[in-house]
Amino acid sequence: DEEFNELCFEFGLELDEITSEKDIISKEKGEEKAKGASDTVLYKIDVPANRYDLLCLEGLVRGLQVFKERINLPRYEKIIPAQGEGQRLIITEETVQVRPHAVAAVLRNITFTKERYDSFIDLQEKLHQNICRRRALVAIGTHDLDTISGPFTFTAKAPSEIKFKPLNQSQEYTASEIMDLYRTDSHLRHYLHLIENKPLYPVIYDSNGVVLSMPPIINGDHTKISVNTRNVFIECTGTDITKAKIVLDIIVTMFSEYCEKPFSVEAAEVVYPNGKTHIYPELAYRKEKVKPELINKKVGISETPSSLAKLLTRMCLKSHVIGNGNNIEIEIPPTRADIIHACDIVEDAAIAYGYNNIQMTIPKTYTIANQLPLNKLTELLRLDLAAAGFTEALTFALCSQEDIADKLGMDISATKAVRIANPKTAEFQVARTTLLPGLLKTIAANRKMPLPLKLFEISDIVVKDPDTDVGARNYRHFCAVYYNKSPGFEIIHGLLDRVMQLLEVPPNEENGYTIKATEGSAFFPGRCAEIFAKGQSVGKLGVLHPDVITKFELTMPCSALEINIEPFV
């Protein structure tokens, strides 16, 4: 296990955990449910999102074997059948509105075992979730070629005209019935929205009218593959042709290893509505040139061109030195769609060299870091507020609409609150516009604690602001509450004076702070004051209204203070 963990790290992967089915179930659902689950050891490996070629056991093992220099990188080849003998996929113009693109290929004389078959299905699922964006960009269909006869037609029809037996079902349904059937299916219901509101649904037929699939929802039952399937017809339909080509390349390169002639793929011809034809899979190899100095400089190493070429070859990028060592020519195989720019090649060289082997150096630039003034002020205030006998609370930045509006006696429209579009819970509907509700909820959760409760928080609040580029603005607020058998207005007032003293703001009108009586919906009438400093209103303090206290499920009087500290920075 440790060796494998090391190997994964060297190859730029992470062995997430070593577990078993039993462990996973018992963690999620408890010991009882885990009885009878398998104890087989499972490796959970974290693969970077751009390395589609490592998403199945075949590709991962092949990549590691090449990395360990046990095998040479296989050469993938496409076999173009004799004229008129290959499979054809004809795209009709009806598909333009729904899913305009399709590509296809054939794996001939393949030998599946239970493990290989499971891996084959699993790879499709992982690709669907990742590069295919939950089948929105590409949907993959794999079919038993011996149960159907080409040429195949990819068209789009009205839902009522499409009728077939979907995978693993016992009877035929029309497309509309299939949509209703899978509305409750935990796996497939997430894909229905991709086509359900379209006038026509995409569908693929063979020459006898047998339905292969209705992408991106479900394949037909007639063509389903099994462990005994010998010839597999693969079609990828989608809205993004580049992604469709990558997906097809990955599937055929990963599993052509099990064909009678390993690493060979039979090409298929796709005929477009305008009559043009194209042979897929492309399986394109391309050459790139990178200067060795560039790699050495970017990574911070000093290797010879030939050893850099060797490092890259270990990463499945077959390389050799050309032009007296001035350049390295790299051949990019069809499995590496993630190599877009020279920096991707440099990164692979760094991985093969080993991140841990790169010498640590001190950066050549000198900079002196500085704390953001607002955060510096916040830190200083927090220390002194704690010294004044108040306890700091940290509450959620999101709360419910009631917390900042109804419970404080305000209307939600008056709060300028930023709303969450699709909140997961009622507790997180809006961003807070005041810190008070968070502290009152904290007191409600700590009613068993001995009185008095003295809490404070210094955090950001968020309000809508049409003048900013993001439409909202943050303000750093300071809020304190005092909760006891008596309101304790003088304690909160004393805290305000202490804060102003610390901020060196004198208690006068010219250049200091003053408080003036005012009314606030959350405060008791006649027990509320507005605080003016630096020529502007910075906040309020006062005794909370009994209605507010009961709405937060509290039973004692409470006084509070909330100010914006940004003017004092």
The overall pTM is greater than 0.85:
no
Lowest mean pLDDT among 33-42, 293-302, 348-357: 33-42
Average pLDDT over residues 8-27: 86
Which of 280, 312, 343 is the endpoint of a domain? 280
Rounded Cα–Cα distance for residues 351 and 491 (Å): 61
Amino acid (one-letter) located at 304: T
Average pLDDT over residues 375-403: 93
Rounded Cα–Cα distance for residues 376 and 325 (Å): 54
Residue 555 counted as domain residue: yes
Residue 365 counted as domain residue: no
CATH number at residue 494: 3.30.930.10
Same domain, 458 and 406: yes
Same domain, 326 and 427: no
CATH number at residue 249: 3.50.40.10
Same domain, 220 and 347: no
pLDDT at 425: 85
Lowest mean pLDDT among 26-35, 88-97, 454-463, 504-513: 26-35
Tell me what percent of the residues of the chain surpass a pLDDT of 90: 73
For the cut 80, the answer to whether the pLDDT of residue 28 exceeds it is no
Average pLDDT over residues 418-438: 89
Same domain, 153 and 292: no
pLDDT at 29: 72
Same domain, 378 and 524: yes
pLDDT at 38: 80
Please give the C-alpha separations between residue 464 and each of 44, 376, 433, 468, 520, in angstroms, as whole numbers.
Answer: 44, 26, 9, 9, 21
CATH number at residue 2: 3.30.56.10
Same domain, 152 and 31: no
For the cut 90, the answer to whether the pLDDT of residue 539 exceeds it is yes
Contact yes or no for 450/420 (Cβ under 8 A): no
pLDDT at 105: 95
Same domain, 276 and 301: no
More confident residue, 20 or 320: 320
Residue 53 counted as domain residue: no
Helices (H) and strands (E) in the chain, counts: 15, 27
Tell me what percent of the residues of the chain surpass a pLDDT of 70: 100
Same domain, 214 and 107: yes
Same domain, 309 and 271: no
Query: Which residue range(s) make up the domain with 349?
Result: 286-357
Which of 307, 327, 357 is the endpoint of a domain? 357
pLDDT at 286: 93
Residue 509 counted as domain residue: yes
For the cut 90, the answer to whether the pLDDT of residue 319 exceeds it is yes
The domain total for the chain is 4
For the cut 90, the answer to whether the pLDDT of residue 327 exceeds it is yes
Instruction: Give me the chain's average pLDDT, please.
Output: 91
pLDDT at 122: 94
**Tell me: the pLDDT tens digits for 150-181?**
799 999 999 999 999 999 899 999 999 999 99
Please give the distance of CA 363 from its chain centroid, rounded to a whole number: 33
For the cut 80, the answer to whether the pLDDT of residue 409 exceeds it is yes
pLDDT at 237: 95
Contact yes or no for 108/260 (Cβ under 8 A): yes
Which of 328, 357, 386 is the endpoint of a domain? 357
Rounded Cα–Cα distance for residues 436 and 486 (Å): 19
Average pLDDT over residues 4-19: 90
Contacts of 69 by beta carbon, 8 Å cutoff, 6+ apart? 314
Residue 299 counted as domain residue: yes
Same domain, 266 and 396: no
Average pLDDT over residues 61-73: 93
Q: What angle do CA 183, 187, 190 make, to 5 degrees?
A: 60
Residue 222 counted as domain residue: yes
Lowest mean pLDDT among 12-26, 231-245, 548-562: 12-26
Same domain, 218 and 298: no
Place of tokens 């709405």: 551
Residue 131 counted as domain residue: yes
Same domain, 522 and 407: yes
For the cut 90, the answer to whether the pLDDT of residue 436 exceeds it is yes
Residue 55 counted as domain residue: no
